[in-house]
Structure 1
């Protein structure tokens, strides 16, 4: 006894959630946080952040004043201080339906739209809605690790198909067919591509849809980088093939409007044949929404103004800057022998490059490369292992051109310091 209380209890009944701890290590955020810890605080140079897809820190990538005014107007109106409905407020859902329908052969209804806290929550909702005993989902390699994290947390089996670098990162259709069985519920595609910077042609997307119909699965099309295409291929939404196989599109305003922190996304059912409703997927989505949180109502209130009034010249400016940055990145990569790029990026904000360890000394793998690069050059690049492709690197090029030039000078110096002696 001490001060009249017992101190004899030696154990407590709670402990960490081991699954949550393990799956959180799979995220881009987790890997980059560890790399930031490697940066030498004594280095007074600015950090070159080529690891994360968030260009909003750079003045040249500021969002349009129309979007800023829309949020301000929504807040000052006092009309959006209330709770949201489970699926999102009707004016916002109607605006998203009209916005997305511009690129489709049919019209979406507001009932096809579910507003989410960014695209990340859309992934969370959908994978939980599809999870059931013995279910498996087909994921691309390389891919976006958030799918792995939520797939693991929901205890779905994850099966991986390759994207083919020699074919501009197209889906390996034959591999997908060989992986699928009666327990396969869906496959994921990301277009424009994260982490590869690819853009899929209409012909390739149609092959994916036809294969999905053959296998009896739905297609999850992650289009968070929709319309950020600057190469020879235009962006084509997977939803145009919703009559062949059901498509659930995930998207947001985060990237096209350069506002990832506003956390407004959507989950959209492209299913004119009503297959998702018939098989209970809509009920499962609604069930999860009923126990989850909603996007901030004032952001939802701003959505109609943001989607309807943003001018084309804003979008053109963003795409042109990305094209310029992609050109700089692609050309500078050629000057560094230890990395090679299989194809020039045509969309999104990323490029995958292969790391040639045989040309380097005292570098064990891609993670070791990125940790030492952070420590020696105050520069962040994402190791390929974080997106499922060991000994590759994902470089983010959406930043001020001067930062890119500085970054590649540092990368060149790093290579020369660690180059294997001839």
Structure 2
């Protein structure tokens, strides 16, 4: 157990539920949170579905002074951090400020806040633009606001690598703990379901235009034609295993291995390198393919990208060699929040001994995957989480259950 970096607290804000337990109760039975976008009228746009968080009222969780200076994503991140710390039994005001850090991921920043201030600029003039616009939109704002709220002055930062960011941030937090920082809050939360953010996401050319929630996001399916975007993510508390044990903390599992690679440009003639990221993560964990009980896949739902991921998985594990699941089919792709939410979901799956399903999708035989379509009882002691970001980011993380800690 000595030297291991573990997760001792979970905070989840997702279309499938607010709080880790609510999210898990929906996810474990395949209850989707995808539907027609309600935060604004999407009728004029070709894409109209989203994984949206309902019943979140920031005023119920945060002091009024924070509301004028924060975007929706930051409010969600602050609440998730509060829940993660409470779940870990950590009282930041009782710990030295420089013993605590914050490393989060961001893909878009505070789009909705920025949209509101641009509207004021265009319609009323520059003197009506909020001074908080100077940082509320910024990629690092979640790390900053969490650190301010809890007095955390240790090593901190932000990682910007799109969908891969949630794993990359946790890996950076793990490095800081190994260097001596006792506790780091990490993960990712994104929320840009506003017209400005919507247009930006559509510009990538990968959003589904299907209006049926049961047919819009279908990774590894012959009908795959893009993804559904969503909002939310997860924040986790990381600490050194011996320290967690000494204070009697509940330990969900260990961040056992990590690997990251970057694909060559498409016209280079060189192949993608997701497979190499998997190999690096397994080697870092001191594991091999036979140890892995489940893979939480990236699941792009773009045929050429699905093929790359399937080929990497079959190269490492063989055809149908390991159960594969994409629970984000219930939330949509949450950008920097996606992999962080997958990490939290893996730990909850380990706790129950159940692999959550990939809903609605019918796996194409040519991919050679054992895609879990219904909840599957299984002993999950070692899991692999994959995440890929637009432009070539690849990240892989090996997670071990608490009973497998070294």
Q: Settle same-fold status: TM greater than 0.5.
A: no
TM-score by length of structure 1 reads: 0.24
Q: Which has the larger radius of gyration?
A: 1
More helix by share: 1
TM-score by length of structure 2 reads: 0.25
More strand by share: 2
